[in-house]
Amino acid sequence: MSNIHTRVHRSYSFGSVHALSTASLDILIDIFHSPPNHETEILEGRVPPRFAVIPEAGPVVIKAYKRGGLISRINNDRYLKVGRIRSRREFEFMLAAEQAGVRVPAPVAYASTGFPFYRTWLITKEIKEHRSFVKLCLTDKEQALALIPEISRNINSLIRNKIHHVDLHPGNVLIDGNNKIYIIDFDKARLYSKTKTRLAITYQQRWSRAVHKYKLPEALAALKIG
């Protein structure tokens, strides 16, 4: 990660693939505190993304990290600094996945503020005209089925490189206006210590559980991996 540019601005720490200008950093910080403009739907995460345009990367998506469960009632967006911050971990796994041939939204930057408890954000390039694979599953089963081999190809690339996404389900696959797929949400990703065969089974089981739980077409449960 020697090519990552780091900078502190207005008490926010940034790491980025581009050397971001002060104006770009100001834009991002202002967006960090803006309200989301829509709600998420099933399998799309608990926090709606925010959008901005910065000169170095063009249109970008800003993801804020929020806690879930009971703890969110008293602390919904702060984490204790132990090791790498969450946004940096996800940023680095996305770079690793990209280098492995997996199509992901291009990572742009990560940011955080506060110590020892911090708030944090991830910035990636926007996928134009995107929709989630889960929406496609519900509206056009045949087109969804046609994309299963490409989704499987990307998952096989993760398996070969022993990257365990952990939460890979139809809501974490985006489709752009040209029907290209992108895998998102590497927040819980980790390097897998067991065999690649076991990892393939784990990916298949997680995907199938989501298909069944959210009553998506049964034919979409079977990936072509392993």
| Active-site choice (26, 77, 140, 167) | 167
Cβ contacts of residue 185 below 8 Å, gap of 6+? 45, 165, 167, 172
Nearest CA-CA partner of 12 in 97, 71, 85:
85
Q: Exposure of 165 by Cβ count < 10 A (0-12 exposed, 13-18 middle, 19+ buried)?
A: buried
Q: Exposure of 38 by Cβ count < 10 A (0-12 exposed, 13-18 middle, 19+ buried)?
A: exposed
- Distance, CA of 8 to CA of 15 (rounded, Å): 9
Query: What residue has token string 């110590």?
Result: 115
Catalytic residue status for 167: yes
Query: How does DSSP classify residue 35?
Result: P
Residues annotated as catalytic (active site), given as ranges: 167
